[in-house]
Amino acid sequence: MLAALLIILPLLGGLLVLIAPPQRAKHVTLAVSSVVFVYSVVLAFIFGPHWGTDEFALTGAVTWLDGIGITISLGADSVSLLLVLLTTLLMPLCIWGSFTAITDRLREYYGWMMLLQAAMTGVFLARDLIFFYICFEFTLVPMYFLIALYGGSNRARACVKFFIYTFTGSMITLAGLLYIAWRYAEIAGFWSFDIAQLTSFAVDGLNNYPGLSQYEQAWILLALMAGFAVKVPLFPLHTWLPLAHTEAPTAGSVILAAVLLKLGTYGLYRFVLPMVPLAVVEYAPLIAVIAIIGVLYAALICWVQRDVKKLIAYSSVSHLGFCVLGLFALNPLGVQGSVMYMLNHGLSTGALFFLVGMIYERYHTRDMTQMSGLARRMPVWAFFMVFFVLSSVGLPGLNGFISEFLCLIGAFTASGDAGAYPGVLGPWYAAIAALGMVVAAMYLLIMVGKVVFGPLKEPAVHHSTGEQSHLPADLTLREIGVLVPLAVLCVYIGFQPRTFTGAMEGSIEGVLAEYPATVRQQQILQQADLPHFDNAGLVLTMPESTDIGEVNHDG
């Protein structure tokens, strides 16, 4: 039950905050979340021998609703542990980063942050479908209240839209998951929601019964995508995201971009790819096209944004399009790129949201036309801004490059005749998606050019309120402290990606195990289908062949 502590500690922290004096709330949560981070690093060492394999470790289970097979069961493989580490790393930074931004209702704020951490960790550690669903859904509540209570002026609309979109999608996902479990129960004679059992049942069947048919898998794919595509978000279900991001408080945006969106891609990785391979092979081109539309469409929107925070929010939509493209390349390179994207996007976009939040705390505006040349006023801030923008556009040597390149090369090589891992995408997909990289460089660098460089122009500061008198012009040590760990990791991943890609290899191969055979089978079927009209004559010869069969049988 080592992993359970990762969920229980933040919950206890949440309770502790409720009884702590309001002014101490931030210190209490910072301490708790730091302890959780240290603990998760310790777990990463305990996990030791399992890195790079597809084994699950740190497992443990408690029965809950026994008769319907629902247990609270936890476990981590290398990919989920990496995402847990991302969560536990970002949480203390988010809390530290909100020290000055949040000034009232402190206990509630930090209490919700702790609950959010527990729920997010639960999603990554769940080995039971229902427990996964509970955590997946429960992340909505803290986020809803973080936006609703601490958000900007349009927060009422933002949080409702966020809630309704996600809730509707995941209701349909629940129906899909229940369907798989029902088919399992029909054959096994009892209900179980164990992810490993259901996955192996969906693909290989059970007790000599075949797994799910292609037709069933297509419907399940649709149901699962309904929930996960909203969360990722994929075009055209992304409209909640810019709104929620713009209205959320800084730490909320960071968490939303860095971790909550990854719940969607993690869902794709953990459920869609392993459970419904037949449907995935059939529909991967369609999903890839949607992802590419998202990449380009969101990138073009970014180009015309004046609100910096909205620009970064849309850039998330664009970037996660790459992430999904990599997943549906169905080869190790693409999926590695995709998982790396989950981590890297968390680091660099998270940091960008921090940076925008720091500006907003000082000037109370995010309008690009109102500010320029801030490098003169805030050189340290400008350094980090340029650094993370470069990481985000994929400058070689920084982390963004690794993941973007892997995703694209994955899609590029995912053609039908590729060696070990034939795919259903191809060079064209990669080529068009790569345009998104070009546009990304344009909009992000234009933004940097306007805001950071050029003649100094500061927005009219609300001196009357005197709110920012306690913040110096440039970043404080606390703020630098929030950014430095992220920057260090960006550089490290940029130069040593093998540490991470190597660690996730085994898990990815496990997820992709079915695909080479499935893709080849599909190709054979398609080739058999193609010459429909040419082989009209063959139909006439059919009786002959059956005769031969009968003769052979007699013989």
Partner 1 sequence: MADKIWFLIPELILLAGVVVVSVLGLSPRKMLRDCLPAVTIAFLLIACVVTPFLYDSDHVSRFHSVMPMLGKYVNMMVCIVGILLALTSAGLIDRRQEASVQSGRAVFDALRANRGEYYAFFLLSLIGVMLCAHANDLIWLFLALELTSLPTYVMVAMSRPSRLAQEAAVKYFFLGAMASAMFLYGFALLYGSTGTIVLTEMQAVFTQQADSEAGINTLGIVGMLLALLGIFYKIAAAPMHFYAADVYEGAAAPVTAFLAFVPKTAGMLAIIMLLSTMGWFSPSGNLPQPILTMLWMVAVLTMTLGNIGALLQRSVKRMLAYSSIAHSGYMLIGIIAGPAAGGTGIDGLGAVLFYLLAYGIMNTAAFSVLAGLERNGQEIESLEELAGMRMRHGLMAAVIAISAGSLLGFPPLLGFVGKLYLFIAGVNAGQIALVVIAGLNSAISAWYYLSIVRQSIMAQPGPQSEVVVRGEAIWPRCAAFLAALAVIIVPIFSWGLMKAADRVTNSPDQLDLLSETQAYQAVKTDSRNP
Residues in contact with partner 1 by CB under 8 A are 63-69, 130, 133-134, 137-138, 141, 145, 148-149, 155-156, 160, 163-164, 167-168, 171-172, 174-175, 178-179, 181-182, 185-186, 189-192
Q: How far is the CB of 541 from partner 1 (least distance, A)?
A: 43
CA atoms within 13 A of residue 443's CA, in its CB half-sphere: 29
Q: How far is the CB of 281 from partner 1 (least distance, A)?
A: 24
Contact 224, 271 (CB under 8 A): yes
Decide whether 65 or 438 has the Cβ nearer to partner 1. Answer: 65
Helix runs in 190-307, H state only: 195-204, 214-231, 240-247, 250-255, 261-267, 273-275, 277-303
Decide whether 119 or 489 has the Cβ nearer to partner 1. Answer: 119
Q: How far is the CB of 115 from partner 1 (least distance, A)?
A: 12
Decide whether 192 or 246 has the Cβ nearer to partner 1. Answer: 192
Decide whether 211 or 334 has the Cβ nearer to partner 1. Answer: 211
Decide whether 233 or 326 has the Cβ nearer to partner 1. Answer: 233
Q: Which residue has the tokens 């920057």?
A: 487
Decide whether 154 or 496 has the Cβ nearer to partner 1. Answer: 154
Decide whether 53 or 168 has the Cβ nearer to partner 1. Answer: 168
Q: Mark 181-207 as b/e (b = at least 16 C-beta within 10 Å).
A: bebbbeebeebbbbbebbbbbbbeebe
Contact 313, 379 (CB under 8 A): no
Rounded Cα–Cα distance for residues 251 and 344 (Å): 18
Decide whether 99 or 167 has the Cβ nearer to partner 1. Answer: 167
Q: How far is the CB of 77 from partner 1 (least distance, A)?
A: 21
Axis-axis angle for helices 78-97, 332-363 (nearest 10): 10
352 CB burial (10 A radius; 0-12, 13-18, 19+): buried
The 3-state DSSP class for residue 527 equals: helix
Find, among 360, 358, 392, 375, the residue nearest to 480 by Cα.
Answer: 358
Q: How far is the CB of 178 from partner 1 (least distance, A)?
A: 5
Decide whether 178 or 471 has the Cβ nearer to partner 1. Answer: 178
Decide whether 129 or 302 has the Cβ nearer to partner 1. Answer: 129
Q: How far is the CB of 88 from partner 1 (least distance, A)?
A: 22
**Which helix (H) or strand (E) is 361 found in, with range?**
helix 332-363
Q: How far is the CB of 222 from partner 1 (least distance, A)?
A: 11
Find, among 114, 90, 35, 97, the residue nearest to 481 by Cα.
Answer: 97
Q: How far is the CB of 171 from partner 1 (least distance, A)?
A: 4
Q: How far is the CB of 118 from partner 1 (least distance, A)?
A: 12
Axis-axis angle for helices 155-188, 140-150 (nearest 10): 180
Rounded Cα–Cα distance for residues 32 and 16 (Å): 9
End-to-end distance of the chain based on CA atoms, in angstroms? Answer: 63
**Residue 407 structure tokens:** 């995703």
Q: How many CB atoms lie within 10 A of CB 499?
A: 11
DSSP summary character for residue 500: H
Q: How far is the CB of 175 from partner 1 (least distance, A)?
A: 5
